Amino acid sequence: MKKLLTSLVIVLSAVGFAHQPFWNPGSPTLQQAYRVLEPTVSKVVTGQLGAGQLGFYIFELAAGFVLDLGLLVGAACPAAYQPRIWLVGPGVQGNQRPPFAIPEGLGARVFEGGWRDYRGHGLVARKGPEVQERLSGGTYYVVVEAGNAAGYYMISLGGLEVPGGTPEGRAALGRFNRCG
């Protein structure tokens, strides 16, 4: 009985510390944005960008929601691969002009830099810009901008730890670590 209880605690602990993994097969425009469901749940979405490409994500958020999002790239990706994150939405105060059109009435702000080595949760990566913003609610977009290099990236969304994800998302974790 004690062995069973110990095993159960270990399994439940492992589930509790895992983000839900998803795979974004491509979302190159605002109209084709990858819809992030249940933004209150912790998840990672892995994608791949070529040089100069963009990956768009859409979030429907309640007023007062704190967006806690980080950007990682596979450590095997070229050192020049340092994507930026754009936050687009109502009430967002811009600090630069984005390289894409945004709907009327929305603002955009870029988050960049801060790259450092990261090892954890089975990843060998570089962790870059982070977004931690309390938002006024409504439709928001997060845009990953590749820059002049290509590779795999992952957006990590903080939230409640709930089991889930997809088989495609779990398979993408290996490609992320190899950057290919």
How does pLDDT run across 82-106, given as a tens digit for each residue?
999 999 999 999 878 999 999 999 9
pTM of the full structure? 0.88
Task: Answer positive or negative: Cα dihedral of 90, 165, 34, 86.
Answer: positive
Mean pLDDT, to the nearest integer, of 142-148?
A: 97
pLDDT of residue 160: 95
119: β partners = 124
* Whether the predicted pLDDT of 140 surpasses 60: yes
pLDDT of residue 5: 33
Question: Of 30, 22, 82, 74, which is closest to residue 51 (Cα–Cα)?
Answer: 82
Task: Answer positive or negative: Cα dihedral of 43, 52, 146, 133.
Answer: negative
Helix (H, G, I), strand (E, B) or coil at 148: coil
Q: How many CB atoms lie within 10 A of CB 169?
A: 19
* Whether the predicted pLDDT of 12 surpasses 70: no
pLDDT of residue 116: 97
pLDDT band of 18, cuts 50, 70, 90: low
Percent of the chain with pLDDT over 90: 81
Task: Look up tokens 């702000």; give the residue.
Answer: 109
pLDDT of residue 14: 37
pLDDT of residue 4: 33
pLDDT band of 13, cuts 50, 70, 90: very low
Please give the mean pLDDT across all residues of the chain. Answer: 89
pLDDT of residue 27: 97
* Whether the predicted pLDDT of 70 surpasses 80: yes
Helix (H, G, I), strand (E, B) or coil at 143: strand
* Rounded CA separation 94/90 (Å): 11
Percent of the chain with pLDDT over 70: 90
pLDDT band of 174, cuts 50, 70, 90: confident
Question: Of 131, 154, 140, 24, which is closest to residue 69 (Cα–Cα)?
Answer: 131
